[in-house]
Amino acid sequence: MSVKLKLLRVQAGLTLEELAQAAELTRSYISKLERGVSEPSIGAALRISKALGVKVEELFGQAPEDDPVSIHRASEGKEGKLQTPRMVSGTLPGHRMVAFVMTPTDEPVRDHPMSHHEGEEILYVLKGSVTLQLARRTETLCAGDSAHFNSSIPHKITSVGKQPASVLLVIAAEP
């Protein structure tokens, strides 16, 4: 994503500082993303894509083709990196939903405050357990549990327990 982000920023005619301000992130965080030192949270990716005026899948995915079916192979993912979301659906034009599989970390991430963005979100726990913090409410969800909420509510997902958690996130943008 690093090369793609820098290319999209330059094409938009924005400096690091301008993109950071528009996305409500820090300049150093955007720089780390462009250099491949960090991977964005889903909330940060959504804010960056909005600031750049592109769909979030343009940050993660390849350019869509004319095929009406989108296949994402497991072998294309970046396994082993914590907190790195892997897009599993949503790269076709006209689709309003984007789906990610991610492995939340069990440690607080300094540059990742609670996320919030437009639309709705469905979280489904594939394995392990997570805490879902929604504003002032905290829920513990185990494998097989799910939550559906308005994404404008500040939220954060953290892994709990000994087994690393894995979650499926489906985000539906506002029409």
CB–CB of 98/61 below 8 Å? no
Least confident of 27-31, 116-120, 150-154: 116-120
pLDDT, tens digit, for every residue of 7-37? 888 888 899 999 999 999 999 999 988 888 8
Is there a single domain that holds both residue 78 and residue 157? yes
pLDDT band at 110 (very low <50, low <70, confident <90, very high): very low
Is there a single domain that holds both residue 8 and residue 87? no
pLDDT, tens digit, for every residue of 89-104? 665 666 678 888 888 8
For range 117-137, the mean pLDDT: 88
Look at residue 80 in the predicted model and tell me its pLDDT: 40
Is there a single domain that holds both residue 79 and residue 133? yes
Q: Is 65 a domain residue?
A: no
Domain, as residue range, for 53 = 2-60
pLDDT, tens digit, for every residue of 40-89? 877 888 889 889 988 777 776 554 455 555 555 555 544 444 445 666 66
Quick one: which of 147, 157, 159 has its CA closest to 113?
Answer: 157
Instruction: Give the Cα separation of 63 and 152 in Å (integer).
Output: 28
Q: What angle do CA 168, 51, 93 make, to 5 degrees?
A: 55
Residues 6 or more apart from 49 whose CB is under 8 A from it?
Answer: 55, 56, 58, 59
For range 119-125, the mean pLDDT: 88
Q: Is 69 a domain residue?
A: no
Is there a single domain that holds both residue 48 and residue 117? no
Instruction: Give the Cα separation of 159 and 167 in Å (integer).
Output: 10
Burial class of residue 77, CB neighbours in 10 A (0-12, 13-18, 19+): middle
